[in-house]
Amino acid sequence: MTDDELLEELPPPIVPGVARALSPLVRRIALDLQGEPGPNTYLVGIDEIAIIDPGPDIAHHLDSIAGCGGDRVRWILATGSSDSSGAERLAKQTGAEILSVAGVGPEGAGQELAVGDTVLGTEFRLTVMAAPGVAERRACFMLEEERVIFAGDYLEVEPAPVITDADAYREAVTALRRRRLRGIAPYEGHLIEKPLERIEEIAPK
């Protein structure tokens, strides 16, 4: 493979603070850490938008999210993988409702979701998924229309989450094989477009 062919296969660099479309329903804004990309915030939907992992209470980051979603932002959720202290300010900026999942989520949540519950937007359905076996509470969300899972750091390899129950963790990761995943939206970095390879890396057959 030539250098040019290799470059064509690489995803474009992540520009922090700038929204990038990952699919028809998903956009990503990476937190700007002095010019370097930090944790990801995801905007799901078009006419109605769910924010996943809003990030810390940093004005320029929240302004980027609000500027991208505006009054179409309806819900704010978190995987629990990163600082979501910006949720309340973002809710005030957009009029969105803050949701939590069994204790996972930003402060100020007006409604608590359980595993299996869904968030229904005009064009999408997000299903709440369990994330057992790790030291700190986590939640994952499946975008059913595109078979993409927003997993925070739950499916990270380096650095991996702190595992407290290896059997529960392995069972949950292994079960993802049956979900026909097309992508994993991680805590940091690019969309993982070969999810089965990541699952095999974490929980080999």
- Collapsing DSSP to helix, strand or coil, 194 comes out as coil
The CATH number assigned to the domain holding 197 equals: 3.60.15.10
What angle (nearest 5°) sits at the alpha carbon of residue 95, between those of residues 92 and 97?
Answer: 100
Residue among 107, 96, 109, 103 nearest 69 (CA) = 96
Report d(CA 43, CA 125) in Å as an integer.
13
Q: Evaluate whether residue 18 is within a structural domain.
A: yes
Provide the domain count of the chain: 1
Contact 15, 31 (CB under 8 A): no
Amino acid type, 52: I
Q: Evaluate whether residue 152 is within a structural domain.
A: yes
Q: Evaluate whether residue 42 is within a structural domain.
A: yes
Domain limits for position 156 = 14-202
- Mean pLDDT of residues grouped by 10 in the chain (205 residues)? 53 93 97 94 98 96 95 95 92 94 75 93 96 93 98 92 95 94 96 96 87
Q: What is the structure's pLDDT at 7?
A: 44
Q: Evaluate whether residue 127 is within a structural domain.
A: yes
Question: What radius of gyration, in Å, describes the C-alpha atoms of the chain?
Answer: 16
Q: What is the structure's pLDDT at 6?
A: 44
Report d(CA 15, CA 13) in Å as an integer.
6
Q: Evaluate whether residue 4 is within a structural domain.
A: no
DSSP state, 9? H
Q: What is the structure's pLDDT at 11?
A: 81
